[in-house]
Structure 1
Amino acid sequence: MTTSILTSAPSDTSAFERRESAVRSYSRSWPAVFTSASGSEQVSETGETYLDFFAGAGALNYGHNHPVLQQVAIDYLSSNAVVHSLDMHTPAKREFLEAFERHILAPRGLEHRVLFPGPTGTNAVEAALKTARNATGRRDIVSFTNAFHGMTLGSLAVTGNAAKRAAAGVPLPHSVTAPYDEEGMDAIAWLERVWSDSGSGIDLPAGVIVEPVQGEGGLRAASAEWLRRLAELCQRFDVVLIVDEVQTGCGRTGTFFAFEEAGITPDIICLSKSLSGLGMPMALTLVRPDLDVWEPGEHNGTFRGFAPAFATATAAIETFWSDEQFAASVRAKAELLEEGLKTIAEHAGGSLRGRGLLRGLRFEDATIAGRVAAAAFERGLLVETSGSADEVVKIMPPLNTPDEQLKRGIALLDEAVRAATA
């Protein structure tokens, strides 16, 4: 299959270049002006259609403008119902909590309290870190190499990306970095030895924060056994285990939570991204009841009660997670994607990473991944790069991408890889 490179006249981007901060990034890689979107496709104002294997960095697990969720948002906004409510009671919040309890928490045996921390993933992480510290009276947090947990100072302190940490401009204390699950690196044994040694002069940490799959850190995936050993260690030493599901949650790896494969029960769980279902900001920090030691108002946020997001989140849960059908379809699509990526990796000399529909192609030559992403964009496919040196091509299609589009995306990626490695 051969696809011609897009050659239409570029859109006018002068206003963005004149006024928008230099910190912008995605628009530099994809210099199009996107005007409409549906499912797994976006259309630019010059008429090109792009297959979206980026999915809003994981915020659009159900695709762009899913008709059921879109109609719920339209109906809610046209009803004169409360839109902004801080942490006051609304029917929209009650319906969300009931649906979340019925379809997500109860079937998994989770008794966690639901903390609404603010609208983004880094808010969920900040609340998790503060909860662990407040509940234990300890300060340090253990995180892992190549981790990414957010851009605010607490989240940056447990993030492993040197460039993002440097941008903080201040020291980022009270964090300890351990090796992620990698061959030849037994971080669990190392942590056990340090925590057991009363003469080491190192106090126990308040918590450990971990991503089941490192989305921004190169698509490394922790094994189920490694996660179980980590959970057991934390339980033995009374260290709070925080699992960051901001990018992996809401079905990205084939179960609602990525940690389900390991059969563990985290003390705290961070959720955001696709929680609202429609790309509207929403985040949760799920807290084990005995850790919920907050005083009223001790942690808050103006936009933690965005009721339209509650409404679409409820609809997303009831539409996709009331039974096992959707999760099974995600796992089937993940197998299709894995087969295609294995074929590409074999001829291109790359290696496959990740789980489910959060996958990556890693290249020894770190410059190849960027060339692949650029060649993919020229062919009408949106993929980004990941990893400490941007050495991984990151593939993250909407979970309900039709098989035909999934196969077309794999073919376009294959073309892009061949062009970038020729």
Structure 2
Amino acid sequence: MGEIIVGIDIGTSKVCTIIGRVDKSNQIEVLGIGTSNCEGVKKGIIVDIESTSNSIRTAVEKAEKMSNIKVGSAYFNIMGAHVNVISNRTAISVSNENREIRAKDVEKVLYTAGDVAVPEDQQVIDVIPRQYIVDGYDEILDPIGMVGVKLEIDADVVTGKITSVQNIVKSAERAGVDVDGLVVGALAAGELLLTPDEKDMGVVLIDVGGGITDISVFKNKKLIFNDSIPVGGDHITNDISIGLKISYPEAEKIKKQYELALTSLIKNDQEITVTDTGENRKKTVRVSEVVEIIEARVYEIFQLCRNLLEKAGVFEEYGAGVVITGGGISYVDGNKQLAGEAFDLPVRVAFFRHQEVSKPEFWTSFGILKFISNYRRGRGQGSEVKVQKPKVSKADSGFFSKIIKMIKDFFF
């Protein structure tokens, strides 16, 4: 049957849920998807738990209806400047007399790797093994059964602000969903949209959402920077609304109708009839007026991203350049050129071909599934689900004990 994993992306404007089955070859079959508008998140931070939980519940119910599967638990994304990834290398002596590495040795070295000093307001969210080293031999993915005296691990220790973690857990549990674990949004997106070569050479990943834009930098196969700016696609709509003096819904409709960020791409600068909110009358504006507004804001978003990288001291001529994704502006023609002007680096727009999840708004949720399937493969890390049964039993333990169990069960 395969292991079923549920990924939920809590965004500033939407909550997206995907239920997927991972087969023996590690391919993911999408069983159900669901979305819901989200008004409980501002600038990437949950500010209204009740509203957010309602959005989660709605998105989950839609995915459940499509898949005929009842969801009891799921993996959630976590994002923002408070999330940190700490590289850590630790070592232990193999305890077995015959020096054969066993599961408890792996468990011990994982625990040791996760024992890092963090600020009082932060907690360890996950420990991600990158490689194991046995008596100096590196690039080992699964050391169980090997013989050696010394077992080392290169791991990424993910930490996050305690309050942010608790708000995600509370919102999920109020929606009737237990938290299997948290996946950094940048790692989920990177797993899905970036190539191994790009992450090795150095690449800037820009994920433009509705109200927030996440900026991540990968180099030497590691996430070395992760932050965000409180500006996204919704601000483009707001600019159009204010600039043309029209309602927000009408501005959103026009933005999606033309999907251009460069006036040079306009083929027909026709007149558009709109309703002036101030005078409550019909009027006409040209397509070029709309596109000029979009162009200014899109360029500003990319320039703000560059400024953030420069301020943090991590901007350089990355070999793989810039990759753009996200439902906020990735669909807009001309964004590639504007990003190129702002960064003076090669730019590509992320593309992911999958019949059920072709829209960028689902990519983080699907990326969560892919991340878990790659790093938890075959280790009993599926979500709690029930097929064709209306009631779902609650998990025996909460999220925080699941973190411990996740590490313990990693190689079982």
> Please, what TM-score do these two structures have when normalized by structure 2?
0.28
- Bigger strand fraction: 2
- Structure with the bigger RCO (C-alpha within 8 Å, sep 6+) is 1
TM-score by length of structure 1 reads: 0.27
